[in-house]
Structure 1
Amino acid sequence: MEEILNQYCKQDNLGLLLLSMATGSGKTYIVLKFIHSNYKEFAKQKRKILFITNLNKNLPIDELKKRFIANGNEEDFEKYVLFIDSNVEPVINNLLKLDHQIPDKFKNKIYLQLKKYIEMLQNEQLPSDFKENIKTDIRKNMALPYLLC
């Protein structure tokens, strides 16, 4: 896989590289290593490395930051790494804090279900797989763009 990344990502005219490999094959480890090993070269060429995943656990940002810190490059991490969360996480993290600012006319059935889900996610005793199911339901079935307008 390292060879695939090196051959494909270092070409001049790139497209999208989709890595569909078995769980446990080391994709995350190898991608983190590639990012850390090549970010300076890409920055010199004014190129970007974009890593897009549908699951937060697939890019452990803290582990990547530790690699930069271990090599004395924490400033480079702050300069070159941008982590963009899904639209679900900011809603989950902020809706309850902002609930009092949202006009009642927007607090429809979907909003109230979303709020209920978020309140459930605050319960630390719930199993993580149950919480992931709630987040999946929010992502797939809640009208988040409507709520964020």
Structure 2
Amino acid sequence: MAYVNVPKDLSKVKTKVMFNLTKRQLICFGSGALVGVPLFFLLKSYISTSTASLCMVLVMLPFFLFAMYEKNGQPFEKVIHNYVQVRFVRPKHRPYQTDNFYAVLDRQYHLDKEVQRIVCKNDTKKKADPRRAPGDRGRHRTGEADG
């Protein structure tokens, strides 16, 4: 019995137009042929056939690259665009800044320690107030003699 494998992700399936090629591939191969073949016939009369065919292949190679190369679902021109953006257009140094919960807790802990240090320093100053007499405990006198 004949069977056909069906891919699980149908979004990656591309529609084939002619000769089992996509529309994009047909356009790129056709434009490569439109540039390369006339170049071959023009160069053949001036240089040897093998050199003219080598020049034709080198001229047509970018067209084939644009037709066939694909990385992460992106065609070659998008890959080149992203590379140019990252390499030349955007700044090289992109600082990574975050305000994570641990850093907030750490800052709060240090601030609490500083406040406690200031409060403790002020408490020790209150105990040694120079305006009080050594025997004065801060009680009000009632006018009676202490007995």
The normalised TM-score by structure 2 is 0.20
Relative contact order, CA 8 A, sep 6+: which one is greater? 1
**Higher relative helix content:** 1
